[in-house]
Chain A
Amino acid sequence: DGGITQSPKYLFRKEGQNVTLSCEQNLNHDAMYWYRQDPGQGLRLIYYSQIVNDFQKGDIAEGYSVSREKKESFPLTVTSAQKNPTAFYLCASNMRIHAGNTGELFFGEGSRLTVL
């Protein structure tokens, strides 16, 4: 089945440690996105990538880093510079818009990061 796989689902980290969240898609989508969701708040865009080897900062990129070495993979690293990293992280993907593509966005199941 096609879809987006995020791992791990739950992650605990000590302050000062970097952690990497995995996002893999087998939908052959061009674009991939990372969002952060805090309780009672909306989605906030961290980073996005529309093609391999290229990515752009979203609204809250400070303290995060990404790479896009393969079309199907877009890992997110939460660095020790992120002041309040405890949150729910969501990965999404879609096709770039051109003839025949709707640009429909699909999400993974999320990764919950807790900093102890």
Chain B
Amino acid sequence: KQEVTQIPAALSVPEGENLVLNCSFTDSAIYNLQWFRQDPGKGLTSLLLIQSSQREQTSGRLNASLDKSSGRSTLYIAASQPGDSATYLCAVLAGNTPLVFGKGTRLSVIA
């Protein structure tokens, strides 16, 4: 059974720092991996999707990488801002089955 783990569970950084969020999964037979952002009391917003044949995806200050063979993905946030404070979740899709989610990393960026 696929399991997705996100470490750390919470992270606090000063504004302007570059930071990395980690996501690991136990079964490398995935179709894609998706990173989401969730603000308090809101739904999840899709940030980046990396298909299994890809190594990375970029959107603005965000860069997500995927190493399928080692079961790892990282989300890199450059020059962090207070507005980046949120919970970040990763999820993997193995086929026409529900995505499997990690429990998320709660990020606080301090001004």
Contacts and interface: CB of A to CB of B under 8 A. Distances in A.
Interface of A: 6, 31, 33, 41-43, 45, 48, 50, 58, 88, 90, 92, 96-97, 102-110, 112
Contacts of B43: 6, 90, 107-110
A107 B45 contact: yes
A48 B98 contact: yes
B105 to A, nearest CB: 11
**Size band of the B side of the interface?**
20 to 34
Given A31-B96, A97-B96, A112-B41, A103 B32 contact: yes
Nearest to A103: B93
A104 B46 CA distance: 8
A105 B46 contact: yes
Contacts of A108: 43
18 contacts: A6-B43, A33-B98, A42-B101, A42-B102, A42-B104, A45-B98, A58-B98, A88-B41, A90-B43, A97-B93, A97-B95, A102-B51, A103-B32, A103-B96, A104-B46, A104-B49, A105-B46, A110-B43
Contact of A106 (B42, B46, B51, B89): B46
Closest 7 A/B residue pairs (Cβ): A42-B103, A107-B43, A107-B44, A109-B43, A43-B101, A110-B43, A103-B93
